[in-house]
Amino acid sequence: MVPFRSSPRLRAWALSAPAILLVTCFLLLPVFSTLATTFGDPEGPFATYAAYFDSRLRMRVLWRTMEVAVITTVISVIIGFLTAWVVAKTPGRLKSLLIIAAVFPLLTGVVVRSFAWLIILGKNGILNDFLLWIGVITEPLSMLYTEGSVIVAMVYLFVPLMILTLVGVLEGIPQDMTDAAASLGAKPAAAFREVVLPMAVPGLIVGSVLVFTGSFTSYATPQLLGGERQMMMGTFLYQNAMVRFDWVAASTVAAIMVVVTLTTVLLMSRVARKLNPVAG
Amino acid sequence: MNTRTHPLLVAFAVLTFLFLVGPLVIIIGTSLSDTAFLTFPPEGLTLHWYQNIFEISAFRRTIMTSFALAVGGTAISMMIGVPAAYALARYRVELPKFLGNVYVLPILIPEIVLGFSLMKSVAIGAGLPIMTSLLLGHALLVLPYCVRVVGASLNAFDFSIEDAAVSLGCPRWKAFFTIVLPNVKAGIIAGFILAFITSLNDVSVSIFLTGPGVSTLPIQLLAHMEQFFDPTIASVSVLLMFVTVGVMAIVERTLGLTFLTK
C-alpha cells in the first residue's frame, strides 16, 4: 500500500486493472481472434466474405435479419412512442403502475416471453382456438415458423424498452415549451411537430438503436418462433458453429454482425448528437 | 395548453398494455391446467406441474446451477467492477475518458458473438472447465451493470468526506469500506440485482458454454420445449416470474423503478 499513497495515478490504474484485464482477456482477445480467423483463407484475406456475399442462401439470411430488425424497430417506435406519450401524461400512482407493467416483461427472460408466443400462435394454440371458436376460420392456420411470428414476438420483446426509454425523454420536455408554442398561436398539431418531436428525436434514436441491434443479434426468439425455415443471423451463427462445426463460416457471420451493430451504434449516436436541439 | 390526452390515444395505450401483460397471464393460466397439454383458459386446476419441476432432475439441477452462476458471476463482477467504478468517479483526471466505454463493451458486442468467441478461445482454446468458463462469461456479461449502476451512485457521492477521513489518519481501505461503501449501498444492491437477473435469463452466452452434464435453466427450457410441450414449461416460467417480482421489489426499494426510465 505504501507506493499507492504517493501516487493517485498508480492507485487509479491499480483499481481499474482487474476490470480492464477481464475485458481484455475474455472479450477483446477472443472477439479479435474470431474476427482474425475470417481473414485466414488461403485464397486471399477476403475469400470467406466473397463466398458469403456470393451465396444466395447466406445473403437471404442476412436480408431477412435486416428486414425483421427494421420492421420490428418501426413497429416498436410507433407503439412505444404513442404509449409513452400517454404514460408520461398519466398522473401519479397510475403512472407508476404502468411503468411496473412495462418493466415486468422487460425483466422476465427472453425464453419465457418467446414461449408465450409459442402457446399463442401454435397450430393448437390459443389464437387458432379462438378464431375457430368465433368461426372466422374452419381450419387452424399455421402461423408459427413464419417471418410474421418472429416479428410479433420481437415487437413484444422490445416495446417495453422503447416505452421506458421514451417516457423518460417525454417527461423531460417542459410543459412551458408547449404552452409557449400554444400562446404564440400554434395549433396542438403544430406544437407537437415543431416543439415536442424535435426534442424527442434523440430519445427515439437511442430507442431505435437498442431495438434494431437487439433484434438483429437475437438468438432465442428466432430459434423458437422461426426455426430452420426462418433462419436469422443469430441462429445461423449457432448452426454453423455447433451443428456443422464450420467455425470459419460462423466467424464470418459473427464479423458481419459486429460490423452492422457497431456501424449502427456509431452512426446513429453521431446523428443523435447533431439533431439534439438542446445541446445544439 | 394542457389538452387532455385524446381518447383514441388512451385506448391505444390500453391495448398496448394488454398486449404486454396478456401473454404472461396466459402462461400463468396454462401452468394451472389439469391437462397434459398447454391450454388456455385452463381446464381444471392443479398444482401438479409445479411439483413436476422438482421431479424432473434436469430442472432441479439447472435451477441450482443457474442460481449459483448468477450469484457467483455477479459477485465476481462486483468485486472487479466496484473498484473500477470507484476509480472512474474518483480519479477523473488520472484516467482516460474512454475507459468508461471499455466496461460497457459486453453490451455493445453482440452477445451471441461473445458467446461463440468465448467458447472458441476460453472453453476450448484454453481448456477451462465448463463451470469456470460459465462463471467468467457471466461475470463479463454483467460487468456493465455493476460499473454503470454503482457508478451512478458514486457520481452523486461527495468525496471530500472520504478525504476528510484520510487526512485525519484513517487508512484508505478503511475509509472506502466504512465511508464510501455504506453511502453507495443502494447502487450496489440495485446493480447486483439487475446483474443477477441478466445472468439468470441469459441464453446467448450460456448456449455456447454449457456442455455435457452442466446446463443452465434457460438452456434446459429451450431443450425441453423442443421435445415436450407440457405445462411444466409454463410452471417453470411462472417460477421465473416470481423471481422477477422479487427483483422489482428490491430495485423499487433501493433506487426506485423510475431509475429504469433514465
pLDDT score of B19:
97
pLDDT tens string A9-61: 999 999 999 999 999 999 999 999 999 999 988 888 899 999 999 999 999 99
pLDDT score of B3:
52
Given the cut 0.90, state whether the ipTM is greater than it: yes
Nearest to A109 among B87, B90, B240 (CB): B240
**Three cell numbers written together for B252:** 423499487
Question: Looking at the DSSP assignment, which residues form a beta bridge with residue B45?
Answer: B33
pLDDT tens string B56-88: 889 999 999 999 999 999 999 999 999 999 999
pLDDT, average across residues B218-225:
93
Any domain includes A123: yes
**Amino acid identity of A137?**
I
Any domain includes A161: yes
pLDDT score of A274:
82
Any domain includes A196: no
Domain map of chain B by residue range? Answer: 57-261
Highest mean pLDDT among A209-223, B34-48, B223-237: A209-223
Domain of residue A250, residue span: 73-173+201-275
The residue with greater pLDDT, B254 or B205, is B205
Q: In the structure, what pLDDT confidence band is assigned to residue B99 with cuts at 50, 70 and 90?
A: very high
pLDDT score of A1:
46
**Three cell numbers written together for A213:** 441491434
What is the distance in angstroms between the Cα of A56 and the nearest Cα belonging to chain B?
Answer: 23
Whether residue B117 and residue A254 make contact (CB cut-off 8 A), yes or no, is yes
- Asked if residues B81 and A2 have their Cβ atoms less than 8 Å apart, the reply is no
The residue with greater pLDDT, A212 or B45, is A212
pLDDT score of B115:
97
pLDDT score of A3:
47
Q: What is the mean pLDDT of chain B?
A: 92
Whether residue A111 and residue B203 make contact (CB cut-off 8 A), yes or no, is yes
Cα–Cα distance measured from residue A108 to residue A152, given in angstroms and rounded to the nearest whole number:
17
The segments of chain A whose pLDDT lies below 70 read 1-6, 277-280
The C-alpha cell 439447472 sits at: B62
How is B116-173 classified by DSSP, letter by letter? HHHIIIIIIIS---HHHHHHHHHHHHHHHHHHHHHHHHHHTS-HHHHHHHHHTT--HH
Quote the number of domains for chain A.
Answer: 1
Nearest to A164 among B24, B94, B261 (CB): B261
pLDDT score of B255:
79
How is A8-67 classified by DSSP, letter by letter? HHHHHHHHHHHHHHHHIIIIIHHHHHHHHHTT--TT-TTHHHHHHHH-HHHHHHHHHHHH
Task: Tell me the helices (H) and strands (E) count for chain B, helix number first.
Answer: 14, 0
Architecture of domain B57-261: Orthogonal Bundle (1.10)
Whether residue A179 and residue B207 make contact (CB cut-off 8 A), yes or no, is no
Q: What is the CATH number of the domain that holds A98?
A: 1.10.3720.10
Residues with Cβ < 8 Å from A60, sequence gap 6 or more? Answer: none
Any domain includes A15: no
Cα–Cα distance measured from residue B247 to residue A112, given in angstroms and rounded to the nearest whole number:
16
